[in-house]
Amino acid sequence: MIRVQEKDFDVGQEIRNLTLGNHAIGGVASFLGLVRDIASEEEISAMTLEHYPGMTEKMLAEIEAEANRRWELDASLIIHRYGRMEPGEQIVLVITCSKHRKAAFESCEFLMDYLKTKAPFWKLEETPEGGKWVDARDSDDTAASRWIEK
């Protein structure tokens, strides 16, 4: 399940909704991303995430489908917010559910690595010097490269 939304979400409620009644699930892994107040040694007062509706959901669905192809998942959820957010606010939630913990852990990590490198979001950080667009990081590409099938 994919949701791209401006509004915040309740992590506990999302996990309950995803697992309710599915007693085959033995492991649930999740990642919650928050807005930090510092990046590259610069103070951040807010961050604005922009996306291209339609294209974003399509790419997230492709990433989720790839995770389901690689691992036997009973359920998965990706929520990614857009709009202006301040430090401490929730940005992204990834939840994966499987019969066994290994598949849940690995697929959750895979989804986050691919979200960081393939999802079409643009980040504008508000700093004391003004707005600054965030460039892609080599470390994110390196993390995602380990998932490339040979």
For the chain, domains (ranges, CATH) are 2-145 (3.90.1170.40)
DSSP string computed for 100-133 = SHHHHHHHHHHHHHHHHHHS-EEEEEEETTEEEE
Above 90 in pLDDT, residue 141?
A: no
Stretch 91-112: mean pLDDT: 97
pLDDT tens digits for range 4-18: 999 999 999 999 999
Residue 133: closest CA among 144, 143, 125, 142? 125
**pLDDT, averaged across the chain:** 91
Q: Is the pTM above the cut of 0.95?
A: no
Stretch 75-79: mean pLDDT: 97
pLDDT band at 150; cut points 50, 70, 90: low
